[in-house]
């Protein structure tokens, strides 16, 4: 076939197809699911967080060890560019109090419809229920409803996602096909994921309740945010940035009073309590919610004696986690194609003319728009460099 083949129709694949077709390259966009961008649509159900409006160096730092290789891509398509792109598709945006950018419609579906309409106008051919099964020489092989299909494009962009939310298409099955051809793939690991805890029965009345105003710590990482108690453990945006440290075996500790140092907290706990029970004194002194007090009693049994010892314990509450939740429950995954297997344009060094983008790459970032921005930026970068490579061939 002439032109380009893009495999995977999530945000990265759609952006690569957009860039290629805008450059005048005929594009076939193939996806294994019956419809495109399923994970994107699911993520937008509770309000589509497009990006985080923040100074660039602060924004870039959220990508951790991948910040170096991602820098040029995020400089080319960072938060301001994401906003302009969405508004260029007829979706006005607003910035919330925390700097997060949302479309005014809040949902992903209006943005996706406008995007697909533009791709249709640019001549992109969409193929759904086409599952990529690997290569045979220069040809890409697919299982389709009409039987096996073999395509030999001039250039290919792989954007098949990571290994979480398999029901939405990101099952990581492509990794085996790449390894079969000798290409390196870093093993997948859960990212932006909750933790598993075997709670006692005393915690059951608090399942579903939020934990607010706390700081979560693992190793050197600290996160301020909200988490939710569940029958299976803890989950929520306050925990997700700690996933790399938790994977490395660091314990999770919670600071119930992050705005007070240990001495100030001890001073509060040392006030005469009169006829108050200890529990009532703690409630008044710290302003803890019922679920926070339940968590304190669950994780500190018995409570330490003395204000200094109790203050130190409340500043580093040890959570008896048994591990991370399963990878398929994670919002995203670490692992994938390492950057050192790719050139500066995201082309596989061992397979000229084949580019990679999105969560297939070995990078991770916290939620809050960083993930989506990274997928859009790498998809655009791969698509643009694929078009340039084709023009120069």
- For every residue of 100-159, DSSP letters joined together read EEEETT-SSHHHHHHHHHHHHHTTPEEEES-EEEEEETTEEEEEETTEEEEE--SEEEE-
The domain boundary residue, chosen from 292, 324, 356: 324
| Residue-wise pLDDT tens digits, 351-376 | 999 999 999 999 999 888 999 999 99
Rounded distance between C-alpha atoms, residue 276 and residue 282, angstroms: 10
How many percent of the chain have pLDDT more than 70? 99
Shared domain for 128 and 58, answered yes or no, is: yes
Residue ranges making up the domain that contains 181: 4-190+328-392
User: What is the average pLDDT value for the chain, to the nearest integer?
Assistant: 94
More confident residue, 165 or 286: 165
Cβ atoms 218, 242 nearer than 8 A:
yes
Could you tell me the two tokens for 254? 């919670």
Structure confidence at residue 73 (pLDDT) = 98
Cis preceding linkage at 302, omega within 30: yes
Domains in the chain, number: 2
Structure confidence at residue 268 (pLDDT) = 87
The domain boundary residue, chosen from 295, 324, 353: 324
Shared domain for 288 and 333, answered yes or no, is: no
| Residue-wise pLDDT tens digits, 302-319 | 888 888 999 999 999 999
Q: What is the average pLDDT across 55-83?
A: 97
Shared domain for 36 and 180, answered yes or no, is: yes
Structure confidence at residue 283 (pLDDT) = 75
Phi, then psi, of 124 in degrees rounded to 5: -70, 130
The domain boundary residue, chosen from 277, 305, 324: 324
Kindly tell me if the per-residue pLDDT of 172 is higher than 90.
Answer: yes
Kindly tell me if the per-residue pLDDT of 292 is higher than 80.
Answer: yes
Structure confidence at residue 100 (pLDDT) = 95
What is the pTM assigned to this prediction? 0.92
Shared domain for 159 and 230, answered yes or no, is: no
Q: What is the average pLDDT across 243-261?
A: 95
Shared domain for 140 and 261, answered yes or no, is: no
More confident residue, 274 or 125: 125
Could you tell me the two tokens for 174? 């492509």
Task: Kindly report the CATH number assigned to the domain that includes residue 13.
Answer: 3.50.50.60
Could you tell me the two tokens for 188? 């997948």
């Amino acid at each position: 076939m002439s032109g380009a083949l893009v495999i995977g129709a999530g945000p990265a694949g759609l952006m690569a197809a957009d860039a290629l077709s805008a450059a005048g390259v005929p594009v076939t966009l193939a996806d294994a699911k019956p419809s495109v961008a399923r994970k994107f649509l699911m993520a937008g159900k509770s309000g589509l967080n497009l990006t985080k409006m923040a100074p660039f160096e602060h924004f870039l730092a959220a990508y951790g060890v991948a910040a170096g290789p991602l820098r040029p891509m995020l400089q080319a398509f960072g938060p301001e560019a994401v906003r302009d792109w969405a508004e260029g598709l007829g979706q006005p945006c607003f910035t919330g109090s925390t700097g997060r950018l949302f479309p005014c419609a809040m949902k992903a579906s209006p943005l996706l419809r406008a995007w697909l309409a533009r791709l249709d106008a640019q001549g992109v051919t969409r193929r759904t229920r086409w599952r990529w099964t690997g290569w045979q020489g220069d040809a890409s092989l697919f299982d389709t409803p009409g039987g096996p299909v073999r395509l030999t494009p001039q250039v290919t962009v792989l954007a098949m996602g990571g290994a979480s939310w398999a029901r939405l298409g990101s099952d990581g099955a492509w990794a085996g096909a790449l390894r079969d051809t000798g290409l390196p793939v870093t093993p997948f690991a859960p990212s932006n994921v909750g933790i598993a805890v075997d709670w006692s029965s005393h915690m059951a009345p608090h399942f579903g309740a939020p934990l607010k105003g706390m700081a979560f710590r693992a190793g050197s990482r600290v996160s301020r945010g909200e988490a939710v108690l569940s029958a299976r453990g803890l989950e929520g945006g306050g925990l997700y940035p700690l996933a790399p440290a938790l994977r490395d075996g660091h314990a999770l500790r919670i600071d119930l009073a992050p705005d007070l140092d240990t001495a100030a907290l001890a001073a509060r706990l040392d006030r005469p309590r009169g006829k108050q029970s200890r529990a009532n004194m703690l409630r008044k002194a710290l302003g803890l919610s019922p679920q926070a007090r339940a968590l304190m009693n669950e994780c500190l049994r018995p409570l330490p004696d003395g204000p200094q010892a109790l203050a130190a314990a409340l500043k580093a509450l040890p959570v008896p986690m048994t591990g991370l939740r399963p990878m398929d429950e994670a919002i995203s995954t670490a692992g994938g194609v390492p950057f050192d297997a790719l050139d500066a344009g995201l082309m596989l060094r061992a397979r000229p003319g084949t580019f990679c983008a999105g969560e297939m790459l070995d990078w991770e970032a916290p939620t809050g728009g960083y993930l989506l921005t990274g997928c859009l930026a790498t998809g655009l970068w791969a698509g643009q460099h694929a078009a340039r490579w084709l023009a120069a061939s």
